[in-house]
Amino acid sequence: MRISYNEFHISKDVRDKCGFDASLYTSSGNVVISDLKKVRIFAEKLNQYYDKIGRSEQRISAGQLNAMGLIDEILHYVSMLYRRDGIKSSFEPLLNSLDKKFGKDKIDEILLQFTNEFPPTAVYRGEISAEQYLSQSAVDAGTGLERTNRESTFEEMMMLHLANENPAFAKFSVLFSETRLRKNPVYAQAWEETQKFFKDKKKFGPFNNDFITFLREPMAFSPKSLRGQLQYILKHWMYLIGEWLKKRLLASLDTLSEEEKAAWRGIKGGEVEMAPYSYDNLMNEYERYSPDRDWMPKVVLMAKTILVWLYQLTKKYGRPIERLDQIPDEELDLLRDQGFTGLWLIGLWERSNASKRIKQICGNPEAASSAYSLMDYTIAGNLGGWDALDNLRRRLWKRGIRLASDMVPNHTAMDSRWVVERPDLFMQRRDCPFPQYTFNGENLSHDGRVGVYLEDHYYSKSDCAVVFKRVDNQTGDVRYIYHGNDGTGMPWNDTAQIDFLNPAAREAVIQDILHVARNFPIIRFDAAMVLAKKHIRRLWYPEPGRGGDIATRSEYAISSQAFEDAIPNEFWREVVDRVAKEVPDTLLLAEAFWMLEGYFVRTLGMHRVYNSAFMNMLKKEENQKYRDTVKNTIKFDPQILKRYVNFMNNPDEETAVAQFGKGDKYFGVCTLMVTMPGLPMFGHGQIEGFEEKYGMEYTRAYRDEKPDEGLVNGHWQLIFPLMKKRYLFAQVEDFLFYDVWDNGHVNENIFAYSNRSGNEYAVVFYNNKYEGASGWIKQSCE
């Protein structure tokens, strides 16, 4: 005998219009199957139909459709429990009662009309007629008992009533409109009798309600929210549906979160408010600082976007300066004389051909590839390669300046050597995640072995796909590899995301880091925070119910134990330990945010970490916030303060002059930067007062800016002499931070602190407010 399954019934008219004949949801006993791929296909087909008839405002979301169908199937499942544990075969006496009251022919008529309007898949496909279907029986997969299709169809019709009642289902009413059924008076009358039938029958559920009231509980709790109804089921019905279904429910909630995420919808938010740093999250973490070498605390770092700098030097000296070995000694002398001991050159590595081509297709014919979309860790040929780097490195070293380089651990270029030769290292899937994705554009691969295709809607700026398509031209193998992504905005569309749950991928990245360390004594790790375990977890392998940051990744939710088994240790802790052992004289600097600054240096062992609070709070004159940040750091562990990287701009932010101007405020904050513990970092063009922000794809400066001589001279008078005394300001053992009192109140706008080195002392006062101030200090803050 055939086994009976319930289906999520949708209108035949809708199926015809959308050309969709696959069942969306089935339930069988204690297994609920949700085919999210089919749901997405169906939603896309329905939306295309809406667009065609000019009703685009009715477009639906696959996540909401998935949630609605899941609620319907859960109602079927608890109905099975009621038939099994409440009133056995409860729909048989119900139908007998209705047959007696209205006549069997009237009930058969409405059941036949329902089956024709909302056909099960076999009927819709023409494999069996509606009359034949209703005359048959099947074994109920849940109860193991024989059940007529009249009974199962009446249950479906009952669920149709509830779906039309549910305000949260209203947007989908075209799928299950009961308008034509209501023209038959027996339809409504039978529903009234059904409710009466269950009123005096065995009560069910956590609140001991009659069966129909029980089925309405999620709707009553959260009438207009699918999320709220699922959350109600999780909270109150778990003892009925059990842990086996919890993962499906959580996945549905995660899919809703992915769709609701503002950045995913392309909505721009305002500037994020920062709170003073707090270290409560470190209370239970171990302390394991990496010791500094003697030169590390004295580093003052200058950042230069290399292609733009070479262009500017060409103009300045009136001759072609295109390679690293052509940079004039005069420029290196200038850096030395100003007091810089580190030079960070952005864009040294061989860049992606695909990245450049994407930018050209999108309308920027002069663009280079992004400096963070890398083919491999080899010095770019157009910069002169390794020989030119060696030349520059030797000349810098003679002047006491160490070279710094980026390392991009999170991703490679989408056409990188690894994408071609080692595709298993990347986050990927075999199926295209969304039916609207198409990959019909230009092959962006430079290597004939593979084809690499960006999703078409990037070119029209109408969507931001989370994957690109890789085709092996020799075997025909197709993979969809995820773009790099930090979950805060759009994916980085010229990159390929490395899978850090793959131990081979982790080791390959570590080998690249060691390679960089052997060539550069200072390494800046780009977007290092995304590779903390908690963020690998959040972004790529979320805990069930905690997904939503990157579209489709909730499909890869795993348990805590499975995650820990796959990556038992922090990746960065392993990196720090390996570098300390194999290339010990290397300063590791992490670009990290998200309140992980203290964790990165104190627990993971990075030598330095970005301190974005310095720039963000001081430019907005949130002086109390930044003073509280300093105080909180001193109170918890002053060694963290020493390991910050303080800056007034960085390559991702507006220029220093745009944020701080060129007057007293600029020089005051710059004085704080070079006299507080923590590595000072200057941006490209900061000293000259340049206003142009250089993109990572820039090959030249687009504005013809001249150095502001007044600003430059101000640095020579006020800033550079202090930079040459970094030994006096870099340590924290004798650093004291003061409150300035005036008339019984602390003036939170004044920064007052002192430090010493041997017998040399310094005290600094700065008022970060355009108003006069006075006061006194007596003792340092605790």
pLDDT tens-digit profile of 349-394?
A: 999 999 999 999 988 888 889 999 999 999 999 999 999 999 999 9
pLDDT band at 26 (very low <50, low <70, confident <90, very high): low
SS3 66: helix
Residue 6, pLDDT score? 62
Q: What is the pLDDT of residue 265?
A: 40
Average pLDDT, rounded, for the chain: 91
Give me 494's structure tokens. Answer: 């010229």
Q: Looking at the predicted structure, is the pLDDT value of residue 29 above 60?
A: no
**What is the reported pLDDT for 268?**
36
What pLDDT digit, counting tens, does each position of 524-563 carry?
999 999 999 999 999 999 999 888 899 999 999 999 999 9
- Asked whether the CA dihedral 447, 448, 450, 456 is positive or negative, the reply is positive
pLDDT digits (tens, 9 = 90+) for 57-106: 888 888 999 999 899 989 999 999 998 887 766 788 999 999 999 999 99
Residue 448 has pLDDT above 70, yes or no: yes
Contact 669, 618 (CB under 8 A): yes
Of the residues 453, 482, 511, the one at which a domain ends = 482
Cβ atoms of 684 and 331 within 8 Å: the answer is no
Residue with tokens 């053992």: 733
Specify whether the CB–CB gap between 556 and 541 falls below 8 A: yes
Helix (H, G, I), strand (E, B) or coil at 100: helix
Asked if pLDDT for residue 49 goes beyond 70, the answer is: yes
Is 20 a domain residue?
A: yes
Please report which confidence band the pLDDT of residue 7 belongs to, taking 50, 70 and 90 as the band edges.
low
pLDDT at 54: 87
Residue 69 counted as domain residue: yes
Number of structural domains (the chain) is: 2
737, 781 in Cβ contact below 8 A? yes
How far is CA 496 from its chain centroid? 14
Mean pLDDT of 421-429: 98
Return the top range by mean pLDDT from 641-655, 691-705, 711-725.
711-725
Q: Which domain holds residue 465?
A: 422-482
What is the DSSP-derived secondary structure letter of residue 780?
A: B
DSSP 3-state assignment of 352?
coil
Distance in angstroms (rounded) separating the CA atoms of residues 540 and 613: 27
Residues whose CB falls within 8 Å of the CB of residue 205, separated by 6 or more in sequence, listed in order: 78, 214, 217, 236, 237, 240
Percent of the chain whose pLDDT exceeds 90? 73
Is it the case that residue 33 has pLDDT exceeding 60? no
Grade residue 266 by pLDDT with cuts at 50, 70 and 90.
very low
pLDDT in tens, 288-301: 999 999 999 999 99
Segment 584-604, tens digit of pLDDT: 999 999 999 888 999 999 999
In a domain, 17, yes or no: yes
pLDDT greater at residue 5 or residue 723: 723
Q: How far apart are the first and last CA of the chain?
A: 80
Q: Tell me what pLDDT residue 89 has.
A: 66
Residue 487: pLDDT band by 50, 70, 90 thresholds? confident
* SS3 label, residue 328: coil
Count of beta carbons in the 10 Å neighbourhood of residue 452: 26
Residues in contact with 282: Cβ distance below 8 Å, sequence separation at least 6, in sequence order:
598, 599, 602, 603, 636, 637
Of 452, 482, 512, the domain-final residue: 482
Q: Is 62 within 8 Å of 97 (Cβ atoms)? A: no
Specify the 3-state DSSP secondary structure of 140. Answer: strand
DSSP, res 541: S
Report pLDDT digits (tens) over 502-516.
999 999 999 999 999
Has residue 244 got a pLDDT over 80? no
41 vs 3: CA distance, rounded Å: 27
Distances (CA, A) of 262 to 269, 278, 736: 8, 27, 43
CB distance 402 to 521 below 8 Å: yes
Residue 450 sits at φ, ψ, to 5 deg, of -135, 155
Cβ-contact 327, 392 below 8 angstroms: yes
Distance CA 9, CA 11 (A): 7
Q: Decide if pLDDT at 2 tops 70.
A: no
Contact 592, 610 (CB under 8 A): yes
> How confident is the model over 744-750, as a mean pLDDT?
94
Q: Which two tokens stand for residue 255?
A: 């899919």
Per-residue tokens: 762: 């310094």
Residue 755, domain member (yes or no): no
pLDDT at 21: 60
Greater confidence (499 vs 52) lies with: 499
* Residue 283: exposure state from Cβ atoms within 10 A (0-12, 13-18, ≥19): exposed
Longest dimension (CA), the chain: 106
1 pLDDT higher than 50: no
In a domain, 203, yes or no: yes
Burial class (CB within 10 angstroms; exposed 0-12, middle 13-18, buried 19+) of 19: exposed
Residue 39 has a pLDDT of: 86
Q: Is 396 helix (H, G, I), strand (E, B) or coil?
A: helix
The Cα 292–Cα 643 span in angstroms is 10
Mean pLDDT across the stretch 710-719? 98
User: Is 774 contained in some domain?
Assistant: no
Of 260, 294, 326, the residue at which a domain comes to its end is 260
What average pLDDT does this structure show over 404-424?
97
Which residues are CB-contacts of 342 (< 8 A; sequence separation ≥ 6)?
299, 300, 301, 302, 401, 402, 403, 404, 522
Of the pLDDT bands very low, low, confident and very high (cuts 50, 70, 90), residue 43 is: confident
Rounded CA separation 209/213 (Å): 6
397 within 8 A of 337, measured Cβ to Cβ: no
- pLDDT value for 711: 98
Pairing mode of beta strands 374-379, 349-351: antiparallel
**Dist CA 509 CA 498 (whole Å):** 9
DSSP string, 152-212: HHHHHHHHHHHHHH-GGGGGGHHHH--TTGGGSHHHHHHHHHHHHHHHTS--BTTTTB-HH
Picking from 183-187, 283-287, 398-402, 545-549, which range would have the lowest pLDDT averaged per residue?
283-287
Strand ranges in 437-512 using DSSP code E only, listed in sequence order: 450-453, 467-472, 478-482, 495-497
Confidence of residue 621 (pLDDT cuts 50, 70, 90): very high
The strand pairing partners of 346, in sequence order, are: 305
**Residue 561: both structure tokens together:** 């134990």
Q: Does some domain include residue 248?
A: yes
Query: Does residue 340 carry a pLDDT above 70?
Result: yes
How is the chain split among helix, strand and coil, in percent rounded to 5?
45, 15, 40
pLDDT score recorded for residue 140? 80
Question: How many other C-beta atoms lie within 10 A of the C-beta of residue 86?
Answer: 18
Q: What is the pLDDT of residue 657?
A: 96
